[in-house]
Amino acid sequence: MPRTYRFVIVDVFTDTPFTGNQLGVFTNATGLSDDEMLMLARELHFSETTFVLPPEADGDVRMRIFTPVRELPFAGHPTLGTAFVLGGPLQKVIIKLETARGTVPVALDREGAEIVFGRMEQPIPTIEPYADTAPLYAALGVSGSLLPVERYDNGTPHLYVMLESEAEVAALVPDIAALGKLVGPTGVSVFAVDGTRVKARMFGPELGVVEDPATGSAAGPLAVHLARHRFIEWGEEITIAQGAEVNRPSTLYARAEGDASGITRVDVGGSARVVARGEFAL
């Protein structure tokens, strides 16, 4: 007899269905092998798919995250989207999701019975300089970065390249093959800033994502990056617009708390909408 596994499709970092970043959530993945999870993630072919399992530590549930090519220890839009899917049935104000980078709490705001906004407390990223910038700039087709290029890792590593204007970010046509060979399983986030408004694009070919519509794991470290380099104040929230170039406009909110001595908290928030439900038979 076939085994059946139910899934939910949710559009994340948007309040409008069929925009934002698509996510598949398998709400009870007990019995699935690693290979089967990867197979299902490849079949859905979203930037990420999550698999919900019983908790093993201090969370309400355990969550595994797969791109079409690999498992990730942590990612942002899968965490927020899974919290939206589970928040209703579990009737939680704060839902705790166990990831390979620790337990991530997500606070959920409701209007009546409907969840309308969620905010996750992300793992604190590690930070290191990235010295080999000339090939990176060549692969992106840019002349340089207004801030030092640094590598942040909160479970999904990202490099950050700052351009002068939103128009420059929108006009990017990177050499995706060269970029993938150069940085491997690391996302490259290119952005421009206007006050607390940010225009961003994220390329991650070796993560299984040529261009991501909304990258929660990059949003938190971006707020850290801007605060560290004094483009914003610590604790100030930025609004990130992403995804227009792939016809999936998204809005993310991020803030970082701390000071010159260290980072104390990183929050990323947004909305999400469930758009479909179904099941696979294996």
What pLDDT does residue 88 have? 86
The pLDDT tens digits for 186-211 are 999 999 999 999 999 999 999 889 99
Contact assessment for residue 56 and residue 30, using Cβ atoms and an 8 Å cutoff: no
Q: What is the rounded (10 degree) CA torsion for 212, 249, 74, 33?
A: -70
Q: Quick one: 189 and 215 in the same domain?
A: yes
- 148 and 202: one domain? yes
Provide φ and ψ at 109, rounded to 5°.
Answer: -100, 140
pLDDT for res 27? 97
What are the tens digits of pLDDT across the range 97-134? Answer: 999 999 999 999 999 989 999 999 999 999 999 999 99
146 in the same domain as 91: no
Q: Which positions are catalytic? A: 48
Indicate if 228 and 158 belong to the same structural domain. yes
Contact 57, 50 (CB under 8 A): no
Q: How far apart are CA 233 and CA 255, in angstroms?
A: 9
Total domains in the chain come to: 2
Q: What is the DSSP string of 160-191?
A: EEE-S-HHHHHT----HHHHHHHHSS-EEEEE
Contact yes or no for 135/182 (Cβ under 8 A): yes
**Range list of H helices, the chain:** 34-44, 76-90, 133-140, 166-170, 176-183, 216-228
Residue 117 bridge partners (DSSP):
109
Query: Do 26 and 118 sit in the same domain of this protein?
Result: yes
Give the CATH number, domain containing residue 162.
3.10.310.10
Query: Measuring CA to CA, how many Å separate 5 from each of 86, 201, 257, 265?
Result: 16, 33, 40, 36
Q: What is the DSSP letter of 155?
A: S
User: Per-residue pLDDT for 260 more than 90?
Assistant: no
Residues 104 and 138 in one domain: no
- Identify whether residues 274 and 257 lie together within a single domain: no
Residues 9 and 87 reside in one and the same domain: yes
**How much is the mean pLDDT over the chain?**
97
Check whether residue 144 and residue 257 sit in a common domain: yes
> Model-level pTM?
0.96
What is the rounded (10 degree) CA torsion for 198, 204, 209, 213?
Answer: 0
| pLDDT of residue 254 exceeding 90 | yes
**Same domain, yes or no: 61 and 142:** no
pLDDT attached to residue 208? 87
What pLDDT score does 156 carry?
Answer: 94
Are 112 and 205 found together in one domain?
no
**Domain carrying residue 12:** 4-123+270-281
Query: Is residue 250's pLDDT more than 90?
Result: yes
User: What is the per-residue pLDDT across 59-105, written as a single tens digit (0 to 9) for each?
Assistant: 999 999 999 999 999 999 999 999 999 998 888 999 999 999 999 99
What pLDDT, on a 0 to 100 scale, did the predictor assign at position 77? 97
Instruction: Answer whether 83's CB lies under 8 Å from 113's CB.
Output: no
Question: What sign does the dihedral 211-200-183-176 (CA atoms) show?
Answer: positive
If asked whether residues 102 and 131 sit together in one domain, one would say: no
